[in-house]
Amino acid sequence: MIEFARPFVLPDFIEPLQCLPAQPWRCDAREAGHPQDVQIAAEVPVALVFNGISHAVMMATPQDLAEFAVGFALSEGIVEQAHECRDVEVSTHGAGTPEASCTVQVEIPPRHFMRLKERRRALVGRTGCGVCGIDSLQALDLRPERMQVPEWVGSLDAATVLRPFAELGERQTLNRHAGSLHAAGWATPAGELQDVLEDVGRHNALDKLLGRRALAGQLGKPGFVVMTSRTSYELVRKCARLSVPAFATISAPTTLALQLAREAGMQLWGLCRPPTALRYV
């Protein structure tokens, strides 16, 4: 059972969307239209602190941050089980100012903390980059262990893989208003879309999804991950570390992502845009 020291929503809660003015322009008009309020996705620094030591600062959407911290700890190999993340505390600072930020404090067992300190690196993340701050090529960790692939993965077809994408856009409540957030969703072997988490960063959205599943005790249940982004190497690495057997995205993979998926035994689908999808072999 995960213990949360404080509620997720604090008195100085930072809204994930903000209303700001903008002027519409048309290519066939010489003047701008009347200013109107539009909703913009918030992007703030989120410090992930383990046992009092700041390990990473990620630029993220200030929502579902407890899930984000737990998912990050699991997908980065900091802990092995969700229950090893104890006393998760989310706090916000400077709400309503340009200095707005969030901190997530997590207590982990001493043995994991000692391992974390041994390989600790200063990681300053960005929405489009998952390896900022790595100081050596060896730190990339590009050799995933081969997973045990369940039998149902072999029967996945295009219709099943595409089924959750037909619903994914409707489930992106933040992106529907702002248009700038990625989504990560969990689908059953039959293609039924379940959890959907959003963030301005694709790897943040994935960590939130994995954290949500882990906190609910459902991470090991049969299913696969779908995302609205390209398939980059760090997304495959995170899923491989948690034995997610299949991964599908709306865009294409990189060569490194494909290499890691092959080594892990993961089934990889890309360019999932009904009525077609590519399965990489």
Distance (Å, whole) CA 173 – CA 196: 10
Residue tagged active-site, from 129, 132, 239, 272: 129
Report yes or no: 222 and 189 within 8 Å, Cβ to Cβ: yes
Instruction: Name 123's Cβ contacts closer than 8 Å, sequence gap at least 6.
Output: 55, 56, 57, 58, 132, 133, 134
**DSSP H stretches of helix in 96-201:** 110-118, 158-168, 173-178
Beta bridge partners of 139: none
Please indicate whether residue 129 is annotated as part of the active site. yes
Nearest to 261 by CA among 179, 169, 153, 183: 153
CA-based radius of gyration for the chain: 19
* Nearby residues of 77 by Cβ (< 8 Å), 6 or more positions away: 141, 241
Tokens 């003047």 found at: 31
Annotated catalytic residues are 129
